[in-house]
Amino acid sequence: MNLEINVTETDNQNVAYLSGEVDVYTASKLKETLTPLAEQSDKNLIVDLSGVDYIDSTGLGIFIGTLKTTEKTGNTLMLTGLNERVRRLFEITGLNEVIDIEVDNKREEA
């Protein structure tokens, strides 16, 4: 399956809306999109996963790399719109402890 990415930018944040699957086949496209967004100074990054049903370990690695990049620039990364399956993956791997995840419109602090 393909991965569609739409980005909106405001003065202080970038929002990436993902739809499809985040896996070994789509990871390079995701990285090519998120890395420049994470590198922008004074812009927090929100990734909306409401259109994503599947993420593999390669995709998780992209989010870890993106988190490190945002931390270097003094920005934040927040994930939102996770369905139960995707949220469980972040919990099992412990990434919900290091990445801010918005759960039911309530922010879960890492």
Q: What is the pLDDT of residues 39-91, one digit of tens each?
A: 998 999 999 999 999 999 999 999 999 999 999 999 999 999 999 999 999 99
Residue recorded with tokens 């496209």: 29
Does 107 score more than 90 pLDDT?
no
| All domains of the chain in start order, with CATH | 3-108 (3.30.750.24)
For the chain, how many residues are written? Answer: 110
Confidence label for 11 from pLDDT (cuts 50, 70 and 90): confident
Per residue, what are the HEC states of the chain? CCEEEEEEECCCEEEEEEEEEECCCCHHHHHHHHHHHHHCCCCEEEEEEEEEEEECHHHHHHHHHHHHHHHHCCCCEEEECCCHHHHHHHHHHCHHHCCEEEECCEEECC
Q: What is the average pLDDT score of the chain? A: 93
pTM over 0.85: yes
- The per-residue pLDDT for 48 is 98
